[in-house]
Structure 1
């Protein structure tokens, strides 16, 4: 994917250790994660692959963390939207590693389907109105690298981690949960910045939110996934957009979000 998207944030380029062995890298307006399998950083995986034309920056950050020429064991995708696979094809060529995704996401990752176009009428705000012009919806074809997730929900390259199907934003969206620490990498199933607001995106103002309507395929299913995350009782929430949040920051917001939806249903 080669179309550079002209949106960014004040956090772009920041690499932070969100939790021991979990490094969040903000690439323009999206987050991706370098997750270590052991304390010595001898093996690691990449979760998501950033914005278009971001592969060089991702490799640079990986080499800062793990050393020159060190590649991940695998790449795992929460889903296949442009801002989560933008550097993927180049990374596959550079690293020659497998890519894991949910089978319901495969049609968008094998050239069979494009995602629906962003809906400029789904909400207010400049980002919403400009979304069809700014954001590509085409799928990609990584057939040769694509692999199925474990049916037992374990993540073999990351002991103690499990994947959870959290559909709605896309059909095959998944999140990742570490039971011992109760850390949730939620992708876009739940985010910590209001994506509809250009100011909030630019400034990365921290606020819990459901996935943006203008890019969400099934809003009711997306709210069911929010409820799944709530029931897991995470203590640390890491998301595809926005800053890390701890449970004391988001618990009330998450409860209110689910309650407000239930009342309006």
Structure 2
């Protein structure tokens, strides 16, 4: 069973850590976010019932930390019903193979993300030339080769439901072809993945200090800025009341609605870099 799963040849630990690393936050009774180095993983489900899913799978070499956080919140030997992936970039699937082996649970992702999760296709290489800061310059060291989850990964249901939760998935491409965000209408909770983030992810200083500001998807890995803009417009229209993103601190209430509105209105100047190999000049 285990032999069919593997990471790409370029898989490795990435030595970047923010001040938020290791900190968990209960945002709602059934929504818990935990920061692994510079990326957030999320648990959806009530600790009292023990029924929950994990959304995204952290940085390379973080499986032990994720298992420990899981057991701390849901009890010893607890395991999620499934792992849901917003997308398959290295910092969102970093511990996925070890977690699937440990828990023996299915993984769900969007149909268009499947080639990157089944060993068929690698992501485009990170753009070190993109305007924005030091993390972009470091990005060539980030793994981008396809991982292979074999038969352990399944397509998210076509009806928009997210297995074992009351969230719906929304296709928010741009950062990757099959990127999804998760939204719950009854309370306006949004798990945005990297469709937008609340830290300027290209800036090493801001990543390390977690200085909060709304931003588009991380620039060095975003290849379709037109789709990325459409995705942000789609999410803003939902009027979320609380949002947890792949990078940065959660946002809620007035600051969230104002920030998202600003991002939509000024997307080309806030999110789209002035230069870079994936920047279409027509977006300006």
Classify the TM-score, shorter chain: over 0.9
Q: Which residue of 1 aligns with 2:127?
A: 119
Q: Which residue of 2 aligns with 1:144?
A: 151
The DSSP-based 3-state class of the residue aligned with 1:153 is coil
* Residue 151 (structure 1) shift: 1.1
The DSSP-based 3-state class of the residue aligned with 2:43 is strand
The one-character-per-residue Cα deviations of 1:171-223 (angstroms, maximum 9, x if unpaired) are 00000001111000000001000001111100111111000221002111011
Q: Which residue of 2 aligns with 1:23?
A: 32
8 Å contact kept, 2:241–2:257: no
Q: Which residue of 1 aligns with 2:49?
A: 41
- Correspondences of 1:212-223 after superposition (within 5 Å): 212-223=218-229
Task: Please report the TM-score for the alignment, with normalisation by the length of structure 2.
Answer: 0.89
Query: Alignment RMSD, CA only?
Result: 1.4
Quick check: 204-213 or 166-175, which moved more? 204-213
8 Å contact kept, 1:235–1:247: yes
Name the CA distance, whole Å, in 1 between partners of 2:179 and 2:98.
Answer: 22
- Correspondences of 1:71-90 after superposition (within 5 Å): 71-90=79-98
- Correspondences of 1:226-237 after superposition (within 5 Å): 226-237=232-243
1:211 aligns with 2:213: no
Task: Please report the TM-score for the alignment, with normalisation by the length of structure 1.
Answer: 0.95
Structure 1 unmatched ranges of 5 or more: none
Q: Which residue of 2 aligns with 1:162?
A: 168
The one-character-per-residue Cα deviations of 1:134-186 (angstroms, maximum 9, x if unpaired) are x111110001201111111012301x210100000000000000111100000
Count of aligned pairs between the two proteins: 262
1:197 aligns with 2:197: no
* Residue 246 (structure 1) shift: 0.6
Name the CA distance, whole Å, in 1 between partners of 2:20 and 2:96.
Answer: 21
Structure 2 unmatched ranges of 5 or more: 1-6, 270-282
The DSSP-based 3-state class of the residue aligned with 1:26 is strand
The DSSP-based 3-state class of the residue aligned with 2:135 is helix
8 Å contact kept, 1:99–1:145: yes
